[in-house]
Structure 1
Amino acid sequence: MNQRTRAHTGPSSLLAMAVVIAAIIGAVGYRSVPTTFASADVRAPEAGEALGTADGAVPVGVTVFDDELPAVVNLDPDLLAALRRAATRAAREGVTLSVNSGWRSRAYQAQLLREAVEKYGSEEEAARWVATPDTSPHVSGHAVDIGRPAAAAWLAEHGAAYGLCRIYANEPWHFELRPDAVEHGCPPLYPDPTHDPRMR
């Protein structure tokens, strides 16, 4: 923000901006999870309800060595062990493998899916980015999203040695355990989750 802009931003301008933002939020409202995406046993969050760390939300700065957050400790033990071995080597090279997302509750996955439908405008387009609670490898603890592009790039280059592979071409941050990759390399990428047979 430059000096000229700062000079014209007084209390009345800030109040007006707050009123406009509140009006927009009220107009958009809350839409529930489409029934085609949500299983009957998944409780959709109430309007304004935020799901927290107990459901898999991850604060900034979490690494694969965190022993407190469910998003990390609820990962499949073999996946977590491989991540920690890779992260130890990465740290020696000055790279930190931070976690943007790991294990998620079914309710949190349903919320993410609802938000994706709102963002992308259709269930079909949302499915390219977010799986259902029934099919998501995050819900089962078999997937992790690595933070910071440099860290994800490092893991994409070196992860096969630990059985860690990218799965989707459109998600350079998403990794899963593929033990055969240690000897045979990672399998070909799916263009996006809609091409993954597990998502059907």
Structure 2
Amino acid sequence: MRLRNLLVAVTAATIVVAITGCSSPGIHSGAGSLGAAPQLPSAGSGSGAGSGSAQLGQDDGYIPTGETVALTDDVPAVTRLDPRLLEALDRAATAAADRDVTFTLTDGWRSERYQQTLFDDAVQKYGSEEEASKWVKRGDESKHVRGEAVDIATADAMDWLTRFGGEYGLCQVYANEAWHFELTADSDGVCPAQLPDGTAG
């Protein structure tokens, strides 16, 4: 039990250092255990995001910095997810609850303009579209825009999904984004090999 507590503490510490959001680094509190991820400009006080962009709100799937949503929340970030993905998450969350693990999201569905704002901010941060694309997809390319991806908020939920998510069809897609999950497992519950980052697919 002491070893398990130590591992949880180490993972939590890593998460604090690596805080980002999948395809929205620095905007939300999703995090990974593969080292520090990049930081984008903060999204202000919850009324919008991005530099010089139109204000973003709940209708864009925007979740204010530092906040999370539950799978049962009546907000577009959740309700506009692909029904198959949401159903898989619900089933996995029910099983995870038996181990006192709760699923919350830092990101779910996003509008195309929200996604494009994140990409534009990443280009400003990293100086090129190529480098930005390792962390953020353009507005018309992201699975978030299609409601086919979520960013998990907590280390214990990420860990649970990494170990058991395939049984529900849920897989971590990118090696550099431990928080990003999609419905990609095969009929046997086997996840495909992780891609190194967003530029690989």
- TM norm structure 2: 0.71
Deviation of the 1:105 alpha carbon = 0.3
Is residue 61 from structure 1 mapped to residue 68 from structure 2 by the alignment?
Answer: yes
What is the one-letter code of the residue matched to 1:92? D
Indicate the percent of aligned positions where both proteins have the same amino acid.
Answer: 51
Cα separation, 2, equivalents of 1:61 and 1:194:
27
Runs of 4+ in 1 over 4 A off after TM superposition: none
Q: Alignment partner for residue 110 of structure 1, among 93, 116, 141?
A: 116
Cα separation, 2, equivalents of 1:93 and 1:184:
20
| Aligned alpha-carbon RMSD (Å) | 1.8
Q: Alignment partner for residue 168 of structure 1, among 159, 174, 191?
A: 174
Provide, for residues 74-109 of structure 1, a one-character-per-residue CA deviation record: whole Å limited to 9, x for no partner.
000000000011011112211111101010001100
2:188 is matched with: 183
1:100 is matched with: 106
Cα separation, 2, equivalents of 1:162 and 1:51:
32
Provide, for residues 18-39 of structure 1, a one-character-per-residue CA deviation record: whole Å limited to 9, x for no partner.
xxxxxxxxxxxxxxxxxxxxxx
1:159 is matched with: 165
1:4 is matched with: none
Cα separation, 1, equivalents of 2:120 and 2:183:
27
1:7 is matched with: none
From the superposition, tell whether residues 184 and 98 of structure 1 become closer, same or farther in structure 2 (CA, over 3 Å).
Answer: closer
What is the one-letter code of the residue matched to 1:161? E
2:39 is matched with: none
Matches within 5 A, 1:27-106: 47=52, 49-59=54-64, 60-66=67-73, 68-106=74-112
2:129 is matched with: 123
Whether the 8 Å CA contact 2:171–2:185 is kept in 1: the answer is no
More helix by share: 1
Deviation of the 1:149 alpha carbon = 1.9
User: The residue matched to 2:146 in structure 1 has which SS?
Assistant: coil
Q: Alignment partner for residue 200 of structure 2, among 192, 195, 200?
A: 195
Deviation of the 1:184 alpha carbon = 4.7
Task: Note the residue ranges of structure 1 that are not aligned, 5 or more in a row.
Answer: 1-44
Deviation of the 1:189 alpha carbon = 0.4
Cα separation, 1, equivalents of 2:72 and 2:158:
16
Provide, for residues 176-198 of structure 1, a one-character-per-residue CA deviation record: whole Å limited to 9, x for no partner.
00251x515100000001111xx
Structure of greater Rg: 1
Deviation of the 1:48 alpha carbon = 6.0
Deviation of the 1:47 alpha carbon = 2.4
Give the total of aligned pairs.
Answer: 151
Cα separation, 2, equivalents of 1:108 and 1:175:
19
Whether the 8 Å CA contact 1:58–1:99 is kept in 2: the answer is no
Task: Note the residue ranges of structure 2 that are not aligned, 5 or more in a row.
Answer: 1-49
